């Protein structure tokens, strides 16, 4: 499972269209503002690859729209993806504390063998690590189960790799041209 | 008072566990090489998840760095120079 060349091409096309729309924010501005515009357009291009089918991409569209609603809407319009702005995110799951507490009480009553204790410890460690994933994957806090979280994580990584590959190629080509 | 908890099928946790194992295996394949000694499956799963978090953070940091670099490139090139034309043709 790796980024495909067609993914790279599609990302580049969308990103270029986004940069054209963002151009007023890129010309005649500070390095810092230009960087923000470049990154924002790259994130929108990456998220739009998934056409609203994944939770992480919907969450990323929402996040970028929070940063600059006008430009993001313009870019989505330019790349024919206006509908992405309205894709809904799942509601946050409410945890029933009473049930959890009761379950923990029941669990504590049992005495465990050494191997059972080791397995329980490993399981708790995995749980903590999945919580870490929720923090770094867009919309991770909203995913209701660990299987969905890992599926979204896999897809997000492939998309991030696409973004990095294309951006790095542009930087390398530009720097090579300057040195000529 | 009705029992609000639905009874869980005995096969459900096993199916979910198998899915998790499969997904962790796929994550392992997509990550850069993990040069760690192999331990139990659960501890290994934990290591894979930790490496995944680190990898995602690294990729995001790289996007940030590349954005900054592109911004600087556009800044340093004179508006009418051939270099500016090349960069803009690549980007826009």
**Domain residue ranges in chain B:** 2-90
Phi, psi (deg, nearest 5) at residue B43: -65, -40
Nearest to A146 among B20, B68, B71 (CB): B20
Query: Given an 8 Å threshold on Cβ–Cβ distance, is B24 in contact with A150?
Result: yes
Identify the band that residue B6 occupies on the pLDDT scale cut at 50, 70 and 90. very low
pLDDT for residue A122:
82
What would the pLDDT profile of A14-48 be if each residue is shown by its tens digit? 998 888 888 777 777 888 888 999 999 999 999 99
Closest residue on chain A to B5 (Cα): A99
**Mean pLDDT of the residues in chain A:** 84
Query: Given an 8 Å threshold on Cβ–Cβ distance, is B59 in contact with A160?
Result: yes
Query: Given an 8 Å threshold on Cβ–Cβ distance, is B50 in contact with A132?
Result: yes
| Exposure b/e, A63-76, CB count within 10 A at least 16 = b | ebbeebeebbeebb
Compute the average pLDDT of residues B63-69.
Answer: 95
Residue B90 touches chain A, beta carbons under 8 Å: yes
Least confident of A90-94, A170-174, B85-89: A90-94
The answer to whether A44 touches A18, Cβ cutoff 8 Å, is yes
Identify the band that residue B9 occupies on the pLDDT scale cut at 50, 70 and 90. very low
pLDDT for residue B62:
97
Place of tokens 């024919």: A80
pLDDT at B90 over 90: no
Query: Given an 8 Å threshold on Cβ–Cβ distance, is B73 in contact with A20?
Result: no
pLDDT for residue A68:
87
pLDDT at A107 over 80: no
pLDDT for residue B59:
97
Highest average pLDDT, of B33-42, B44-53, B79-88, comes from B44-53
pLDDT for residue A11:
93
Closest residue on chain B to A165 (Cα): B63
Chain B positions touching A167 (Cβ under 8 A) are 63, 66-67, 70
pLDDT at B53 over 90: yes
The answer to whether A81 touches A51, Cβ cutoff 8 Å, is yes
Query: Given an 8 Å threshold on Cβ–Cβ distance, is A122 in contact with B68?
Result: no
Chain A positions touching B21 (Cβ under 8 A) are none
String of DSSP letters for B16-79: HHHHHHHHHHHHHHHSSP-------HHHHHHHHHHHHHHHHHHHHHHHHHHHHHHHHHHHHS-T
What would the pLDDT profile of A51-96 be if each residue is shown by its tens digit? 889 999 999 999 999 998 888 888 888 877 777 777 767 665 544 4
Residue A137 touches chain B, beta carbons under 8 Å: yes
């Amino acid at each position: 499972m790796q980024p495909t060349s067609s993914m790279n091409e599609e990302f580049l096309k969308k990103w270029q269209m986004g940069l054209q729309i963002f151009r007023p924010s890129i010309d005649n501005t500070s390095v810092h503002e230009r960087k923000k515009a470049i990154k924002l357009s790259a994130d929108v291009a990456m998220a739009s690859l998934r056409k609203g089918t994944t939770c992480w991409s919907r969450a990323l569209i929402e996040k970028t729209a929070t940063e600059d609603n006008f430009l993001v809407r313009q870019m989505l319009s330019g790349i024919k993806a206006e509908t992405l702005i309205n894709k809904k995110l799942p509601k946050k799951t409410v945890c029933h504390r009473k049930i959890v507490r009761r379950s923990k009480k029941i669990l504590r009553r049992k005495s465990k063998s050494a191997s059972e204790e080791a397995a329980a410890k490993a399981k708790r460690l995995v749980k903590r690590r999945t919580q870490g994933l929720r923090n770094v994957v867009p919309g991770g806090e909203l995913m209701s189960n660990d299987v969905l979280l890992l599926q979204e994580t896999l897809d997000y990584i492939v998309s991030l790799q696409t973004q990095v590959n294309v951006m790095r190629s542009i930087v390398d080509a530009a720097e090579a041209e300057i040195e000529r | 008072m009705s029992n609000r908890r639905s009874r869980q099928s005995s096969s459900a946790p096993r199916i979910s566990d198998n899915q998790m194992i499969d997904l962790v295996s796929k994550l392992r394949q997509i990550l850069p090489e993990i040069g760690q000694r192999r331990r139990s499956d659960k501890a290994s799963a934990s290591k894979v998840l930790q490496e995944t978090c680190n990898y995602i953070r690294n990729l995001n940091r790289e996007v940030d760095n590349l954005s900054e670099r592109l911004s600087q490139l556009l800044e340093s090139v004179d508006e009418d120079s051939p270099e500016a034309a090349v960069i803009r043709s690549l980007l826009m």
